[in-house]
């Protein structure tokens, strides 16, 4: 276990941005050799806090004490020099440089000539570090060619090469397979054994509970509390995060409610580098989950069903008729809607207003004679209807969408599909990066819509969401159907097992 010796402490740390106090008078401490989980909703201040520790931001108030002495980081470099490394979600690796070059960037060992790099020494040192962490990588490979999990490892190796005593990891396992997550856990525990402290930020409470020694909850920029993992329960943490007891977080649906005839039927469907010979049926008014880890092909299957990427073979029947979907336009015309998981990059239209974002799909229908001019009043009226239904909080239809919170933006994206008379809604990671309160709201909304006849296909990497929200869950593994679960047979362990290819027999078999 960890010691009680203190490594880092913040006192009254504060950071203010125009209009919001991101970090509000936070007293936080990390002990030597401990794994300290940091949790909180989006906007709670975790990212800002670690950015201050990483030297990205200067605090507006309060102090940071390292080993009891006050320090200040005016640059990322200074923070590194103080033996603190922050590994951000987006990674700060250069794809076109090798692993060794990435680890030693900015402080490459030089030859006698002065500015020329001593590649032999650099590669050797890099290999050493990777060996310590038991990472089987070739230091001469380019970062562009290695997997996400391997990049995570390179970041850790980089931190270690700086002889960091504190490593901050921001959502390290968000996109990893179960096996890769295990590997990262192993490495993190290894680090702890070597006396390195870890601040571990995650939206996955199970991970925090499995890995950490202590857990700190932040909310609205303030620290709500710090607890020993061994002395607290998940529900307590959730309560601290949300500030109120969230009932019905995953209220189970009345079994078999309002599920109608087959709406969408997929037969023998294949996508290049994706899935092979998939068949399933989606019924009217049902919520179907497609689960699978990275490499299972779920994402590509759904992208192809929507027409964003081509299919290799197979057939789609919509309302009984065979249809061709080769471009999102075809899918939209049929009544299929799609909400991407990449909200920022492929979801919102940043330069446009909330109104324009929501109505973009339906413009032709709102246009007089389809070509002449857009009927503004009708557009605003339909927008208002959806806005009210989804309870999207805006200051006005003309507000630019980038000023909205993640949860509200997600609602706009969902609204975009609904305004087009959607019959099938495809959602990828519907509540990723959204705080618990908004999560519950979106789940409730999806339930209500399904009850009214909307069919939903969703994917999620959050087990609780997979287990409690949908009526049925189909698991894909390596591009093929691995298992199918109904309301009654749904079980987290079995789902996870199926995702990593360990399907058991019995009621886990594909239907």
Partner 1 sequence: MKNSRALVWGANRWERYGLPFLVAVILLVFSLLSVPFRSTYNLASNLSFASLVSIGSIGMVFCIMSGDFDISIGSMSALAGVLGASMVTRIGGPGSILLTIAIATLCGFVNGVFVTKLRIPAFITTLGMQFVYRALAYIYTTNTPVYIKDEFWLSIGSGSVLGIPSPILIMGLCFGVAVYVLRKTPFGRHVVAVGTSKNAAMLSGINVDFVKTAVFTLVGFFVGIATVVTASYLGSVNPGMTGQGYEFQVITVVVLGGTALTGGNGNLFGAFFAALFITYLQNGLGLMQVNSYWQYVATGLVLILAISINRLKSTILGQREA
Partner 2 sequence: MIRFLKLYERFGIFIFIFIGAVFLSFATPNFLKLDTILNIIAQGSYAALVGYGMTLAITSGGFDLSVESSMGLASVVLAILIPVAGIPLAILGGVVAATCVGVLNGLIIAKLKVNPLITTLGMATIIKGVALLITSGKMIVIKQREFLAIGTGKILGIPNPIYIMVAFFVIFYFVVYRSSFGRHVAAVGSNESAARISGVNVDAVKIGVYALVALTAGLASVMRTSQALIGMPSMASGFVLVVLTVTILGGTSLTGGRANLWGTMLASIFIAMIYYGLNLINLQIFYQMLAVGIVLMLALFIEGLRLRFLKAAKAKGIKV
Work out whether 110 is an interface residue with partner 2 (CB under 8 A): yes
Query: Binder to partner 2 among 16, 56, 496, 500 (CB under 8 A)?
Result: 56
117 vs 308 by CB, closer to partner 1: 308
Q: How far is the CB of 158 from partner 2 (least distance, A)?
A: 8
Work out whether 308 is an interface residue with partner 1 (CB under 8 A): yes
Q: How far is the CB of 369 from partner 1 (least distance, A)?
A: 11
Work out whether 228 is an interface residue with partner 1 (CB under 8 A): no
| Helix H or strand E encompassing 204 | none
243 vs 350 by CB, closer to partner 1: 350
Which string of x and - marks every residue 73-92 that binds partner 2 (by CB under 8 A)?
---xx--x----------xx
**Encoded tokens for 442:** 């979106």
Cβ within 8 Å of residue 117, ≥6 positions away: 108, 109, 110, 111
Cβ-in-10-Å burial (0-12, 13-18, 19+) of 381 comes to: exposed
User: What does R_g of the chain's alpha carbons equal in angstroms?
Assistant: 25
- The three-state secondary structure class of 119 is helix
Partner that binds at residue 108, options partner 2, partner 1, none, CB closer than 5 to 8 Å by kind:
partner 2
Residues 77-97, buried b or exposed e (16+ Cβ, 10 A)? eebbebbbbbbbeeeebeeee
Q: How far is the CB of 73 from partner 2 (least distance, A)?
A: 13
DSSP-assigned beta bridge partners for residue 476: 481
Q: Alpha carbon of 63 to those of 25, 29, 66, 85, 438: distances in Å?
A: 10, 12, 10, 18, 33
Mutual angle of helices 148-161 and 178-193, in 10-degree steps: 10
**Encoded tokens for 240:** 């601290």
Residues 456-465, buried b or exposed e (16+ Cβ, 10 A)? bbbbbbbbeb
Work out whether 105 is an interface residue with partner 1 (CB under 8 A): no
d(CA 1, CA 446): 43
Partner that binds at residue 296, options partner 2, partner 1, none, CB closer than 5 to 8 Å by kind:
none
**Encoded tokens for 467:** 């287990």
Which string of x and - marks every residue 262-301 that binds partner 2 (by CB under 8 A)?
----------xx----------------------------
Partner that binds at residue 93, options partner 1, partner 2, none, CB closer than 5 to 8 Å by kind:
partner 2
Partner that binds at residue 367, options partner 1, partner 2, none, CB closer than 5 to 8 Å by kind:
partner 1
Work out whether 115 is an interface residue with partner 2 (CB under 8 A): yes
d(CA 211, CA 233): 14
Work out whether 364 is an interface residue with partner 1 (CB under 8 A): yes
- The three-state secondary structure class of 455 is strand
- The three-state secondary structure class of 283 is strand
How many residues of this chain interact with partner 2, rule: CB under 8 A?
A: 24
Work out whether 20 is an interface residue with partner 1 (CB under 8 A): no
Q: How far is the CB of 458 from partner 2 (least distance, A)?
A: 24
Contact between 355 and 379 (Cβ < 8 Å): yes
Partner that binds at residue 257, options partner 1, partner 2, none, CB closer than 5 to 8 Å by kind:
none
Q: How far is the CB of 347 from partner 1 (least distance, A)?
A: 6
77 vs 327 by CB, closer to partner 2: 77
Work out whether 351 is an interface residue with partner 1 (CB under 8 A): yes
What residues make contact with partner 1 under the rule CB under 8 A? 18, 306, 308, 327-329, 331-333, 338, 340, 342, 345-352, 356, 360-361, 363-364, 367, 371-374, 400, 416
Using CB under 8 A, list all residues that contact partner 2.
56, 76-77, 80, 91-97, 101, 105-108, 110, 115-117, 119, 145, 272-273
């Amino acid at each position: 276990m960890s010691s009680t010796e203190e490594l880092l402490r913040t006192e009254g740390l504060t950071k203010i941005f125009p209009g919001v106090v991101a970090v509000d008078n936070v007293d936080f401490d990390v002990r030597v050799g401990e794994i300290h989980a940091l949790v909180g909703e989006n906007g709670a201040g975790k990212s800002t806090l670690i950015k201050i520790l990483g030297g990205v931001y200067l605090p507006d108030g309060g102090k940071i004490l390292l080993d009891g002495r006050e320090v200040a980081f005016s640059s990322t470099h200074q923070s590194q020099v103080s033996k603190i490394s922050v590994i951000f979600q987006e990674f700060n690796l250069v794809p076109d440089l090798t692993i060794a070059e990435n680890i030693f960037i900015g402080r490459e060992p030089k030859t006698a000539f002065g500015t020329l790099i001593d590649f032999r020494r650099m590669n050797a040192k890099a290999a050493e570090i990777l060996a310590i962490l038991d990472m089987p990588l070739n230091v001469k490979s380019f970062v562009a060619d290695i997997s996400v999990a391997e990049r995570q490892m390179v970041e850790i190796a980089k931190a270690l090469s700086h002889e960091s005593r504190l490593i901050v990891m921001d959502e390290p396992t968000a996109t990893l397979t179960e096996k890769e997550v295990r590997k990262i856990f192993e490495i993190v525990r290894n680090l702890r054994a070597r006396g390195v402290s870890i601040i571990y930020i995650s939206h996955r409470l199970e991970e925090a509970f499995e890995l950490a020694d202590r857990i700190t909850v932040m909310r609205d920029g303030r620290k709500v509390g710090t607890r020993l993992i061994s002395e607290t329960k998940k529900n307590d943490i959730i309560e601290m995060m949300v500030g109120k007891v969230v009932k019905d977080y995953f209220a189970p649906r009345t079994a078999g409610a309002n599920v109608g005839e087959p709406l969408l039927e997929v037969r023998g469907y294949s996508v290049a580098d994706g899935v092979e010979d998939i068949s399933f049926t989606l019924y009217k008014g049902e919520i179907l989950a497609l689960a699978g880890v990275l490499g299972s092909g779920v994402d590509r299957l759904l992208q192809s069903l929507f027409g964003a990427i081509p299919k290799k073979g197979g057939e789609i029947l919509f309302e009984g008729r065979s249809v061709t979907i080769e471009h999102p336009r075809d899918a939209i015309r049929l009544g299929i809607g799609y909400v991407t998981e990449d909200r920022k990059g492929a979801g919102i239209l940043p330069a446009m207003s909330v109104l324009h974002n929501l109505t973009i799909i339906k413009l032709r229908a709102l246009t007089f004679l389809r070509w002449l001019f857009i009927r503004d009043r009708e557009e605003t009226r339909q927008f208002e209807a959806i806005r009210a239904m989804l309870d999207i909080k805006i200051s006005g239809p003309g507000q630019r969408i980038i000023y909205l919170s993640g949860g509200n933006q997600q609602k706009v994206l969902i609204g975009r599909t609904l305004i087009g008379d959607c019959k099938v809604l495809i959602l990828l990671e519907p509540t990723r990066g959204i705080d618990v309160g908004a999560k519950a709201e979106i789940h409730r909304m999806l339930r209500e819509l399904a009850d009214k006849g909307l069919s939903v296909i969703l994917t999620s990497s959050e087990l609780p969401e997979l287990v409690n929200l949908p009526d049925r869950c189909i698991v894909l593994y390596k591009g093929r159907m691995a298992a199918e679960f109904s309301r009654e047979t749904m079980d987290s362990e079995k789902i996870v097992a199926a995702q990593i290819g360990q399907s058991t027999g019995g009621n886990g078999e594909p239907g």
